Amino acid sequence: MPAPRWLFYALGGGLGHFQRSFSLARAAVRRGVECVIVANSDWLHQQAPANRQQLAMLTPRTAGTGKQLHASCELRLLPPQLTPAESGRAMNALLSQPWDAVIVDTFPRGLGGELAPWLPTGDALKVWTHRDISPEYLDVYEIRTHWAPHYDLILSPGEHGELAGLAVTTAAWLVLDPAELASPATARAGWGCDGERRLVLVVAAGRGEEPRQFAEVAKQLARAMPELEVRLASLASLASLADASESSSWPLLGRLSAVDLIFGGGGYNTTHEAAALQIPHLGVAFPRQYDRQERRLRQLGCSVIAPALWESLWRGNAEAVRRIVTEIRQQLAASSARELRLDASRDPARYLNGQPNGVHAAVEAILAAERR
């Protein structure tokens, strides 16, 4: 019997759409599914071809029992500057192939409406990954009344969107399972920490100038808090899971086991990864057209940094730096020093917040829908 074939629609800038789709695909490969991810992320285009090939290294090769897997995960990278019409033609060529399931991340009609002609007539199981998204988007594009009904299955990956009542809700989708995380000692070595000082990680993710601004903030915090280890996690390049000491930081989750506090944005990946490992998170609520970052940060109990304070902070305003340094020290004083994040006494299938990796339940839901 041929392996199921799933197509993942992950168009959109940044890392969120791709990483969510890739996380799900990793779990699907374990179940023998052939996966193809279509993406146009600026982040992926910044990678050298040799680095992009490392994505294959992150795809599981065994099913956990030593049995070799024959399924694979393939990346199809589209240029980010394509118009909706050009993206539509590229997607039509892919959608004309036989697929058992097509999984669409966040935008049910496609980023520019390019899925609209296919949705009413496509034969594949149609799955929409419905993370939290602004209600204005749902209203303007008539998602509730016109587009959502075309989907056979709606999945909410760890956060409740406006249409959560129609969805199968799982825990957050994370790129690594708990058992795949580096030990705290290995993670500390990877961040270049050789003493006992507590570790503050500044995550340089985001759009446009935001990563550069985080780099500036990391320098300011390091000068202002010499009693702490302050490290910058640059997501500019790919790292192999086999060597947590590499200077590149993706996938970041693999080396969070030694981190005492995260300073970053309010995007899906950073926020849910911090929550999974119960790491205090000071999150900048960046304004986005569709993504409600402040809502996500508050729902997960993070401290929220407003855009005005962030603007003063990265520009080096002394009062803004003082306020953030005070907040970091208070957060660290209220939390115990990180010992062993995941050890033999913990359930290897669950993170420290007690939740499993939601990708496995999502894969099971898709496979069950295929059988119906």
Tell me if 5-173+357-371 shares its fold with 178-334: yes
Neighbours of 135 (CB within 10 A): 14
Please enumerate in sequence order all residues whose Cβ is within 8 A of that of 25, keeping only pairs 6 or more positions apart, or say none.
6, 8, 33, 35, 37, 59, 73
Cα separation, 318 vs 290, whole angstroms: 32
- Which pLDDT score, from 0 to 100, does residue 14 have? 78
* Fold entry, domain 5-173+357-371: Rossmann fold (3.40.50)
- Which pLDDT score, from 0 to 100, does residue 2 have? 84
pTM for this structure? 0.91
Contact in structure between 371 and 192 (CB atoms under 8 Å): no
Look at phi and psi of residue 269 and say left if phi exceeds 0, alpha if psi is from -120 to 50, else beta: alpha
Cα separation, 13 vs 41, whole angstroms: 5
Comparing C-alpha atoms, which of 182, 120, 129, 178 is closest to residue 149? 120
The phi and psi torsions of 262 (rounded to 5 degrees) equal -110, 135
Cα separation, 231 vs 259, whole angstroms: 10
The residue length of the chain stands at 372
CATH of domain 178-334: 3.40.50
Comparing C-alpha atoms, which of 277, 331, 323, 329 is closest to residue 303? 331
**The token pair that represents 183 in the structure block:** 């030990």
Contact in structure between 200 and 260 (CB atoms under 8 Å): yes
> Quick one: which H or E segment has residue 90?
helix 84-95
Q: Where are the domains of the chain?
A: 5-173+357-371, 178-334
- Which pLDDT score, from 0 to 100, does residue 284 have? 97
Cα separation, 12 vs 96, whole angstroms: 22
Please give the biggest Cα pair distance in the chain: 65
- Which pLDDT score, from 0 to 100, does residue 80 have? 86
Radius of gyration of the CA atoms of the chain, in A: 20
Cα separation, 22 vs 77, whole angstroms: 13
**pLDDT in tens for each of the 372 residues of the chain?**
789 999 999 998 878 999 999 999 999 999 999 999 999 988 888 776 666 666 666 776 555 444 555 568 889 999 988 888 898 899 999 999 999 999 999 999 998 899 999 999 999 999 999 999 889 888 998 998 999 999 999 999 999 878 878 999 999 999 999 988 888 888 999 899 988 899 999 999 888 889 899 999 999 999 999 999 999 998 765 543 333 333 456 889 999 999 999 999 999 999 999 999 999 999 999 999 889 999 999 999 999 999 999 999 999 999 999 999 999 999 999 987 655 445 544 677 889 888 999 999 999 999 999 988
Contact in structure between 46 and 57 (CB atoms under 8 Å): no
Contact in structure between 176 and 253 (CB atoms under 8 Å): yes
Cα separation, 359 vs 6, whole angstroms: 15
Identify the three-state secondary structure at position 103. Answer: strand
- Which pLDDT score, from 0 to 100, does residue 344 have? 45
Contact in structure between 204 and 237 (CB atoms under 8 Å): no
Contact in structure between 276 and 355 (CB atoms under 8 Å): yes
Q: Which residue has the tokens 């708990």?
A: 178
- Which pLDDT score, from 0 to 100, does residue 244 have? 32
